[in-house]
């Protein structure tokens, strides 16, 4: 790709990136663990937007288990939101992969 062509398209790219950032905030995915007793919802910006714990998993004698369940649910949500981003924006970003 010719760098000068890229500069010509900079305004268009900048506008598209702004649109992508707005759309990332709208993408959400919920991950779960422990048979759905821990649920973590994140958005396309990888921010946790919701955390739901079933009271059954809150045992003060086993905090380590709860921590592991939260980490697992978060990882599940990340995997889902990354897949959604890839599906939604992959074709648009396909031409830029060679630049990285």
Quote the CA–CA distance of 68 and 23 in Å, as a whole number. Answer: 31
Stretch 71-94: mean pLDDT: 89
pLDDT attached to residue 94: 64
Quote the CA–CA distance of 66 and 81 in Å, as a whole number. Answer: 23
Question: What is the pTM assigned to this prediction?
Answer: 0.72
List pLDDT tens digits, range 15-58: 777 787 888 889 999 999 999 999 999 999 999 999 999 999 99
- 78 pLDDT tier (thresholds 50, 70, 90): very high
The edge-to-edge listing of strands for the beta sheet with 48-53 is: 28-33, 38-43, 48-53
Quote the CA–CA distance of 79 and 68 in Å, as a whole number. Answer: 17
């Amino acid at each position: 790709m010719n760098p000068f062509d890229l500069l010509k398209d900079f305004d268009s790219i900048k506008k598209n990136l702004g649109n992508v950032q707005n759309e990332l905030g709208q993408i959400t995915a919920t991950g779960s663990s422990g048979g759905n007793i821990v649920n973590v919802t994140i958005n396309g910006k990888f921010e946790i937007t919701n955390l739901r714990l079933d009271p059954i998993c809150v045992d003060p004698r086993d905090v380590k288990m709860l921590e592991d369940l939260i980490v697992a649910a978060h990882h599940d949500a990340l995997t889902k939101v990354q897949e959604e981003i890839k599906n939604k924006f992959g074709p648009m970003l396909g031409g830029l992969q060679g630049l990285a």
